[in-house]
């Protein structure tokens, strides 16, 4: 038996329960890992609340990201060994798999070897955020030196990863946040400029920073009405990524700005990368090099023990965090 987090009804953090379940043996193409740490993700709160990309099938498990040790290999699994330190990445449906547990079975396609010298907590805080930012900014947008990129919700783990990746190629990260409360921390984390949306005019500030050109790229998980504002702050032939819907509101298409500036507005999720081994391999190599060079440094906001999973989700939804929330698992 192993302890597993499940929920039997849609709702807030309070619906999460720790239950004892049989974990079983991994099937074909699967691994069983002993979970050491879990990286929390906004997608999991949305899945728990019934507002995610896919419907939630109850009773449900949770969890995309974890670090741990390989305990068993299913048939057809190659390239991993029992006892090896690994990380689990979002590459599956949470209706089929979930890593909020002491032991978890996951598809081998969603497992990466943990880089040398990376511990359990850091190992649960690397891949999702850097893969998400890499896929949009580096692979698709071809971000380069001198490019201005607007990064909304910049104090999130993905936002901070985007700042670091932008700096690693010599681009200009413009971080946005609601108020000035996190401005100093964002600048310390590498933001070249910080705009407090509730206190400043985003379009005017971006135009000032870019000498009237606008930003070539915007990287936005919030969506909703602010997309029209972002579009106005873009340069000619700019590229606006929407990779989430944290606002929970309808997102208008910025038709006039798109036509006037020949903008591209693109939906994006990291599943584009994690579902394609040929795209995932260069992303993994880029991130590993960045970690080794010290250009990419995951920021841990707070850690919680497994027994406090409800409190961890409440903290995630409080918007207080700066960086990644990690839950540690001990047996």
pLDDT 10s digits, 119-148 = 999 999 999 999 999 999 999 999 999 999
**Which pair of structure tokens corresponds to residue 74?**
């299913």
220 pairs with which residues across the strands? 242
Structure confidence at residue 331 (pLDDT): 72
Q: DSSP for 270-308? A: THHHHT-HHHHHHHHHHHHHHHHHTS--PPEEEEEEGGG
Instruction: Report the distance separating Cα 249 and Cα 229, nearest Å.
Output: 15
What's the CATH number for 132-271? 3.40.50.720
- Nearest Cα residue to 91 out of 80, 68, 107, 115: 107
174 pairs with which residues across the strands? 150, 193
Q: At what angle do helices 309-318 and 42-49 cross, to 10 degrees?
A: 100
Q: What is the pLDDT of residues 3-44, one digit of tens each?
A: 999 999 999 999 999 999 999 999 999 999 999 999 999 999
Say which CATH architecture domain 2-126+298-328 belongs to.
Alpha-Beta Complex (3.90)
Instruction: Walk along the chain (331 residues) and give the pLDDT tens digit of each residue.
Output: 999 999 999 999 999 999 999 999 999 999 999 999 999 999 999 999 999 989 999 999 999 999 999 999 999 999 999 999 999 999 999 999 999 999 999 999 999 999 888 999 999 999 999 999 999 999 999 999 999 999 999 999 999 999 999 999 999 999 999 999 999 999 999 999 999 999 999 999 999 999 999 999 999 999 999 999 999 999 999 999 999 998 889 999 999 999 999 999 999 999 999 999 999 999 999 999 999 999 999 999 999 999 999 999 999 999 889 999 999 998 7
Backbone angles phi, psi at 273, to 5 degrees: -80, -55
- Reported pTM: 0.94
3-state secondary structure of 102: coil
Backbone angles phi, psi at 278, to 5 degrees: -70, -30
Instruction: Report the distance separating Cα 37 and Cα 122, nearest Å.
Output: 9
3-state secondary structure of 238: strand
Backbone angles phi, psi at 207, to 5 degrees: -65, -35
For the chain, domain boundaries? 2-126+298-328, 132-271
Distance of CA 63 to the CA centre of its chain: 12
């Amino acid at each position: 038996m192993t302890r597993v987090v499940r929920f039997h009804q849609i709702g807030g953090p309070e619906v999460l329960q720790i239950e004892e379940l049989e974990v079983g043996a991994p099937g074909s193409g699967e691994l069983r890992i002993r979970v050491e740490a879990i990286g929390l993700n906004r997608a999991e709160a949305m899945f728990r609340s019934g507002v995610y990309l896919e419907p939630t099938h109850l009773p449900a498990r949770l969890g995309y990201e974890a670090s741990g040790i390989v305990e068993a290999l299913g048939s057809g699994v190659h390239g991993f060994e029992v006892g090896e330190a690994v990380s689990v990445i979002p590459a599956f449906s949470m209706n089929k798999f979930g890593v909020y547990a002491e032991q978890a079975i996951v598809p081998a396609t969603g497992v990466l070897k943990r880089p040398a010298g990376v511990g359990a907590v850091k190992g649960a805080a690397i891949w999702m955020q850097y893969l998400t930012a890499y896929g949009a900014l580096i692979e698709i947008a071809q971000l380069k030196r001198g490019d201005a990129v607007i990064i909304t919700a910049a104090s999130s783990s993905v936002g901070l990863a985007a700042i670091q990746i932008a700096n690693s190629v010599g681009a200009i990260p413009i971080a946005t946040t609601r108020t000035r409360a996190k401005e100093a921390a964002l600048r310390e984390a590498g933001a070249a400029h910080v705009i407090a949306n509730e206190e400043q005019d985003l379009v005017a500030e971006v135009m000032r920073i870019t000498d009237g050109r606008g930003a070539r790229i915007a990287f936005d998980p919030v969506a909703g009405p602010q997309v029209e504002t972002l579009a106005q702050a873009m340069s000619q032939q700019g590229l606006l990524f929407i990779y989430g819907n944290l606002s929970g509101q309808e997102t208008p298409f910025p038709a006039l700005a798109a036509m006037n500036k020949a903008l591209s507005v693109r939906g994006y999720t990291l599943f584009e990368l994690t579902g394609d081994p040929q795209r995932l391999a260069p992303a993994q190599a880029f991130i590993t090099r960045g970690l080794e060079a010290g250009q990419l440094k995951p920021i841990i906001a707070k850690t919680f023990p497994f027994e406090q999973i409800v409190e961890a989700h409440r903290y995630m939804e409080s918007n207080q965090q700066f960086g990644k929330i990690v839950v540690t698992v001990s047996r």
